[in-house]
Amino acid sequence: MADSRLGLNELEAVMAVARRASFRQAAIDLNVSTTALSNTIAKLEASLETRLFNRTTRSVSLTEAGTLYLEHVGPALQDVRTALETVRSHNAGPSGVLRINAFASAARAALLPLVLEFLQRYPKVHIDLVTEGRLVDIVADGFDLGVRSANLVPTDMIVIALGQAQRYAVVGSPAYFAKHGRPRSPADLLNHHCIRIRLPNGAIYPWHFERAGEVTRLDVNGQLTLDESSVVKAVVQEGVGLGFFMEQDVQAELEAGQFERVLDEWTPARDNLCLYYPNRRNPSAALKAFTALARASLPSKGLPG
């Protein structure tokens, strides 16, 4: 008969391995050895009498039972963390860990100043900020907060608008434009060298354009496909081709004259960035302090999701 007496360590272990899809990376996160983590998962699977993970020498993935386990245990584990943190912080003030998930560009543009101010005010809180391109379920993946464009936030979340409108920018080096000329419309890009962008799921990201209600998504041509923004930026600086970025990520290069912008009228401001989090009955002191600071520090007020 399966032993139902599971501890927090076992639950945290499953969450970490699922989140990282790697025993080695999860072990680093949990500050244990890979062998110890593997043994913990093996004992848990034996107790449950079912496999939670498919393991090969190259990959780790959830089984169907593991996915079901995560969907139910993830929110419950977060509630337990919150309850413990609430008791811990009752007299001592906010402490513990806040886990935040965000796009890298959103973290740089809007979140980082808020995080740094928060850490100065609350030295007992540790913030674990995870930046990634894929969309995640912050509740199932064990995050306290997320940052995304307004149109990507689930409707059942509490939302604080960060007041940072997102805008794309097509840029190239002065040397590139001197040699190849400037595109006047998105269709002209098909005759230019463009750096294609691969998303974390392997798909190629189409370049987005809009003007006067006309929307265009373009699968550009180019000899290079890359998946890391800083590498794309370095290649564009060498005059190899044109790049497609979030505006704030290339602002410094534009101001320094390293990049020049084209198709400006085809890249209007899009949805604002939002900080969002689930509506919990007993949020931790750290979460309450962070969201209070966000509302007090930023131009837009929180809106219920």
Claim to verify: residue 32 and residue 178 sit in the same structural domain = no
User: Over the range 15-25, which residues count as b (16 or more CB within 10 Å of their CB) and which as e?
Assistant: bbbbbbeebee
Per the domain annotation, does 83 fall within a domain? yes
Could you tell me which residues come within 8 angstroms of residue 168 by beta carbon, excluding any fewer than 6 positions away?
207, 208, 209, 244, 245, 246, 247, 267, 270
Please state the pTM of the whole predicted model. 0.57
- Supply the range of the domain harboring residue 107: 70-164+271-303
Claim to verify: residue 188 and residue 252 sit in the same structural domain = yes
Claim to verify: residue 86 and residue 156 sit in the same structural domain = yes
Per the domain annotation, does 98 fall within a domain? yes
Residue 226 is part of a domain; what is its CATH number? 3.40.190.290
Provide the domain count of the chain: 3
Claim to verify: residue 276 and residue 160 sit in the same structural domain = yes
Residue 296 is part of a domain; what is its CATH number? 3.40.190.10
Claim to verify: residue 102 and residue 228 sit in the same structural domain = no
pLDDT tens string, the chain, 305 residues long: the values are 444 455 677 878 888 888 888 888 888 888 888 888 888 888 888 888 888 898 887 788 888 888 888 777 777 767 776 666 666 655 567 888 999 998 887 777 778 889 999 999 999 999 999 887 777 888 888 899 999 888 788 888 999 988 766 789 999 999 999 999 999 999 999 999 999 998 877 888 899 999 988 889 999 989 999 988 889 999 999 999 999 998 888 988 999 999 999 999 999 887 778 899 998 777 888 999 999 999 987 654 433 33
> Nearest 5 degrees, angle CA 232-CA 234-CA 238?
115
Please give the single-letter amino acid code of residue 253. Answer: E
